[in-house]
Amino acid sequence: MTQPAQKTWFITGASSGLGLSMTRQLLARGDRVAATLRKPERLNDLKAQYGDSLWAAELDVTDTDAIRTTLASAFGELGRIDVVVSNAGYGLFGAAEELSDQQIQQQIATNLIGSIQLIRAAIPHLREQGGGRIIQVSSEGGQLAYPNFSLYHASKWGIEGFVESVAQEVAPFGISITLSEPGPTATNFAEGLISPEPLAVYDQTPAGDVRRAVAEGNFGGFSHGDKVAWLMIESASLEPAPKRQVYGEEAWQRLHDVYHGRLTTLDAQRDIAVSADTNTALPNAIHSIMS
């Protein structure tokens, strides 16, 4: 079997979950990885095993200046970086009313603004080297929504809209972007959920149902974390780059049902949509008011 050509990757949030699994798999197959995380010493064992193939640096993605400096250092020391993986993030879990202002700000600063600024900082480097790939880790929750995840969804829906636009801007420079959308995955994501003090008033509501499901480990089927990481790695070799990739059978089915439902609703609203155009007559009720 032909081995893939060696690539150099830049990965945020490499201390655990999908980021760590990607880092391990890439190093094992002979690629180079620039791994960033809050505590680089967590990768000491990998550094001892793989030496110069692993470049590790401390990075908090809520620090925009640090993002720019760290990316510049990685490109400067490693030369070309083929794939930038925006993976750092976490989940804020609670009914919207329960969340604190600080929790909301931190969620948006990490998942949305941090991802935006990483992509913005990477573009000039990728453009100057003649192109490259960006993988933005999103979620099935970037296309649908569950109770108790409102701010997490806001961050993921937000980054998906950003990527949809930016991908069109940078395509002429040979830069492509893929949104990775895992469903529930067997990583430590659930352990990292930040939860406010619950309000009893939500106990017998959909928010309470989801809270109990998560606590009992019954929140949907779980994909294999290492398999998802491998598929994300493989996506970087696909041409043309997929705009999105969904991981997990249940995630695929849920998104399929959501898309179908939206299209059905949209089709039913066509006459309403057309009636808003300037080339259609004003309804009598509006005409009488405006005359």
Known catalytic residue: 156? yes
Residue 51: strand pairing partners = none
Instruction: With H, G, I as helix, E, B as strand and everything else as coil, classify residue 189.
Output: coil
What are the φ/ψ torsions at residue 181 (nearest 5 degrees)? -125, 80
Known catalytic residue: 243? no
Residue 223: strand pairing partners = 185
Instruction: With H, G, I as helix, E, B as strand and everything else as coil, classify residue 245.
Output: strand
Specify the DSSP element, H or E, that contains 85: strand 83-86
Question: Which segments of 129-248 does DSSP mark as H helices, in order?
Answer: 150-170, 206-215, 225-235
Known catalytic residue: 152? yes
* HSE (side-chain half, CA atoms, 13 Å) at 133: 24
Given 21, 86, 150, 152, which residue is catalytic? 152
Mention every residue, 6+ apart, whose C-beta is less than 8 A from residue 222. Answer: 184, 185, 186, 248
Instruction: With H, G, I as helix, E, B as strand and everything else as coil, classify residue 135.
Output: strand
Question: Exposed (0-12), middle (13-18) or buried (19+): which is 217, by Cβ within 10 Å?
Answer: exposed
Residue 135: strand pairing partners = 85, 178
Given 7, 156, 176, 180, which residue is catalytic? 156
CA distance 119 to 5: 24
Residue with the two structure tokens 């760290």: 70
Span between the terminal Cα atoms of the chain, in Å: 77
**Chain centroid to CA 195:** 20
Question: Radius of gyration (Cα) for the chain, nearest Å?
Answer: 22
Given 15, 21, 86, 138, which residue is catalytic? 138
Indicate which residues carry an active-site annotation: 138, 152, 156
